[in-house]
Amino acid sequence: MCLTSKTFKPFGDSMDESFWDEIERSRKLTGAQRMSESLRAFDESSRRMLAGIKSEFPGIDDQEARRIRRERIDRIRRLESLP
């Protein structure tokens, strides 16, 4: 049985069609394309994280902002590794 947006809705009807379109698009990607998309998404989230840190700490220099970002990512990884 193939699960699709029509047969499997773990979040009920609250998820819109764009979510399922993205799932279907992702299924068609090669491994290399998925890796490229993952790296692009990480890069984008990393830039947004830096922008948020700079907004939170006006006047902070780039080196300090990157240090704070590193600390936050490390904290997230520690939390994700908890049982």
How far from the centroid of its chain's Cα atoms is residue 23's Cα?
A: 14
Residue 33 in any domain: the answer is yes
Residue-wise pLDDT for 27-79, tens only, equals: 999 999 999 999 999 999 999 999 999 999 999 999 999 999 999 999 999 99
- Residue 39 belongs to some domain of the structure: yes
Residue 13 domain flag: no
| Rounded Cα gap, residues 40 and 42, in angstroms | 5
- Residue 29, domain member (yes or no): yes
**What string of DSSP letters covers 10-37?**
TTGGGS-HHHHHHHHHHHTS-HHHHHHH
Q: How many domains does the chain have?
A: 1
Rounded to whole angstroms, what are the CA distances from 35 to 13, 23, 29, 46, 60? 30, 15, 10, 16, 32
- Domain-located, residue 52: yes
Residue 59 is given by DSSP the state T
38 is a domain residue: yes
User: Is 14 inside any structural domain?
Assistant: no
Indicate whether 58 belongs to any domain.
Answer: yes
Question: What is the span of the domain harbouring residue 26?
Answer: 19-80
